[in-house]
Structure formats: structure tokens, C-alpha cells
Amino acid sequence: MSSAMYLAAKISLSFMWIFTGITSTFFAQEIGYEVLANSGIEGTLADISIWSGSILDVIIGVWLLIGKKLKPCYWVQMLVILTYTLLLTVIDASFWIHPFGPLTKNIPLLVMIYCLFRIDCVRPMHNQT
């Protein structure tokens, strides 16, 4: 992977995490509450779920931009995506066939994160592990 592609992959992935965290809290919070309510999560627990998920997303995005301790950063990203995917599958499996692909997009994201993991942590090019 060229340096420009590598940088584009990291910046775009970081943007996705940060933007998702901000959007989930400030611009589309009602969607999160609706999804959680469908699984019986309401009130304070829903507030905690939305805020903690949003904060976690922003932290992951900033962590990726900072570029320190990338090995755990990649593992956390993969774990969070798998956890979100599992939870949304249990809450409403129709997200798998949603035309905007909120769950199907996770497959290429996991592949991209794994590719970055391989570059940074298995075959360190940038000595950022």
C-alpha cells in the first residue's frame, strides 16, 4: 500500500469514528433512542448507552489520528464493530437488509482495519506499534 493510500485509509477511518460519535449524540440522537427502545432499553440506560457509545467512537477516531499504541487501537475497533453488529442483529436483524447497509458496511470496515493492523503491527512500516 502506498503512503498516500495508507494515510487516506487512516484519515477516512478516523473521520468515520469521530463523525459517527458526534452525529449519534448531536444530530440523530432520536434514531439511537428508537433503536434502543425497540430492544426495551429506555430512560437513563438509553442515555448512558448513547453517550458512552458516542464518546467511545470519538475516542477511537482521535486515537487513530494520534497514531500511538495502534495495535490495541485496531483490536478495540474490531471488537467495537463486532459488538455493535451483534447487538444490532439481536435488536433488529432487518438492519442486515437495510438499503443503506448499516451492518453490511461493517464487513469491509473490518477488512480495512485488519489491513492497517497488518501494516502497522505485523509488518511495521511506520514503527507505530
pLDDT tens-place string over residues 3-30: 999 999 999 999 999 999 999 999 989 9
**How far, CA to CA in Å, does 2 sit from each of 7, 114, 116?**
9, 16, 12
- DSSP-assigned letter for residue 119: I
pTM for the model: 0.87
- What would the pLDDT profile of 64-77 be if each residue is shown by its tens digit? 999 999 999 999 99
- At 126 the pLDDT is 53
